[in-house]
Amino acid sequence: MSNEQNRAEVDKRRTFAIISHPDAGKTTITEKVLLYGEAIQKAGTIKGKKSGQHAKSDWMEMEKQRGISVTTSVMQFPYGDSLVNLLDTPGHADFSEDTYRTLTAVDSCLMVIDAAKGVEERTIKLMDVTRLRDTPILTFMNKLDRDVRDPVELMDEVEEVLKIACAPITWPIGMGKQFQGVYHLLRDEVILYQSGQGHTIQDTRTIKGLDNPELDEAIGHYAQDLREEIELVQGASHEFDLDAFLKGELTPVYFGTALGNFGVDHMLDGLVEWAPTPQPRETDKRLVEPTDEGFSGFVFKIQANMDPQHRDRVAFLRIVSGRYRQGMKARHVRIGKDVRFSDALTFMAGDRDHAEDAWPGDIIGLHNHGTIQLGDTFTAGEDMKFTGIPNFAPELFRRIQLKDPLKAKQLHKGLIQLSEEGAVQVFRPLNNNDLIVGAVGVLQFDVVVSRLKTEYKVDAAYEPINVATARWIHCDDPKTLEQFQNKAQENLAWDGSDHLTYIAPTMVNLQLAQERHPDVTFRKTREH
Count H helices and E strands in the chain, helices first: 14, 32
Q: How far is the CB of 28 from ligand GDP (least distance, A)?
A: 3
Q: How many other CB atoms are there within 10 angstroms of residue 147's CB atom?
A: 13
| Cα gap 9→392, rounded to integer Å | 32
Q: Report the residue number, 27 or 76, with the smaller CB distance to ligand GDP.
A: 27
Contact indicator for 150, 236 with CB cutoff of 8 Å: no
Q: Report the residue number, 70 or 470, with the smaller CB distance to ligand GDP.
A: 70
Q: Report the residue number, 37 or 91, with the smaller CB distance to ligand GDP.
A: 91
469 among annotated binding-site residues: no
Q: What are phi and psi of 495, to 5 degrees?
A: -90, -175
Does position 267 bind ligand GDP by CB under 6 A? no
For residue 379, the cross-strand partners are 296, 331
Report the residue from 109, 185, 219, 258 that binds ligand GDP according to the rule CB under 6 A: 258
Q: 46-75 mask for ligand GDP (x: CB under 6 A)?
A: ------------------------------
367 among annotated binding-site residues: no
DSSP 262: B
* Most distant CA atoms of the chain, gap in Å: 83
CA dihedral (355, 75, 85, 321) positive or negative: negative
Q: Report the residue number, 25 or 414, with the smaller CB distance to ligand GDP.
A: 25
Distances from the Cα of 332 to the Cα of 359, 373, 428, 435, 495, angstroms: 18, 11, 29, 31, 24
| Cα gap 341→376, rounded to integer Å | 15
| Cα gap 107→121, rounded to integer Å | 23
For 341-371, give the DSSP string.
-SS-EE-BTTB-S--SEE-TT-EEEEEESS-
Give the binding range for ligand GDP (CB under 6 A) out of 22-30, 267-275, 322-330, 477-485. 22-30
Does position 120 bind ligand GDP by CB under 6 A? no
In the window 218-257, what residues touch ligand GDP (CB under 6 A)? Answer: 257
| Cα gap 46→37, rounded to integer Å | 10
Does position 119 bind ligand GDP by CB under 6 A? no
Give the binding range for ligand GDP (CB under 6 A) out of 26-34, 284-292, 419-427, 510-518. 26-34
Does position 261 bind ligand GDP by CB under 6 A? no
Give the binding range for ligand GDP (CB under 6 A) out of 82-90, 140-148, 185-193, 361-369. 140-148
Q: Assign 275 to helix, strand or coil.
A: coil
Give the binding range for ligand GDP (CB under 6 A) out of 139-147, 315-323, 397-405, 507-515. 139-147
Give the binding range for ligand GDP (CB under 6 A) out of 137-145, 276-284, 296-304, 448-456. 137-145
Distances from the Cα of 460 to the Cα of 304, 405, 444, 452, 484, angstroms: 19, 10, 14, 8, 33
Q: 76-95 mask for ligand GDP (x: CB under 6 A)?
A: ---------------x----
Report the residue from 10, 19, 24, 500 that binds ligand GDP according to the rule CB under 6 A: 24
Q: Assign 375 to helix, strand or coil.
A: coil
Report the residue from 12, 122, 143, 184 that binds ligand GDP according to the rule CB under 6 A: 143
| Cα gap 19→503, rounded to integer Å | 28
27 among annotated binding-site residues: yes
391 among annotated binding-site residues: no
CA 356 to chain centre: 25
524 among annotated binding-site residues: no
| Cα gap 164→181, rounded to integer Å | 26
Q: How far is the CB of 325 from ligand GDP (least distance, A)?
A: 35
Q: What are phi and psi of 135, to 5 degrees?
A: -65, 135
Does position 117 bind ligand GDP by CB under 6 A? no
Please give the helix or strand (H or E) that residue 390 lies within, else none: strand 390-392
88 among annotated binding-site residues: yes
* 176, HSE (Cβ side, Cα atoms, 13 Å): 5
Report the residue from 102, 142, 237, 277 that binds ligand GDP according to the rule CB under 6 A: 142
Contact indicator for 473, 521 with CB cutoff of 8 Å: yes
Report the residue from 12, 26, 471, 526 that binds ligand GDP according to the rule CB under 6 A: 26
Regarding beta strands 492-495 and 425-429, do their DSSP bridges make them parallel or antiparallel, or are they unpaired? antiparallel
Report the residue from 117, 133, 146, 334 that binds ligand GDP according to the rule CB under 6 A: 146
Does position 360 bind ligand GDP by CB under 6 A? no
Does position 28 bind ligand GDP by CB under 6 A? yes
Does position 32 bind ligand GDP by CB under 6 A? no
Q: Report the residue number, 24 or 436, with the smaller CB distance to ligand GDP.
A: 24
Does position 394 bind ligand GDP by CB under 6 A? no
Residues in the chain: 528
In the window 443-482, what residues touch ligand GDP (CB under 6 A)? Answer: none
Known binding positions for GTP: 20-27, 88-92, 142-145
Residues that bind ligand GDP (CB under 6 A): 20, 22-28, 91, 142-143, 145-146, 257-260
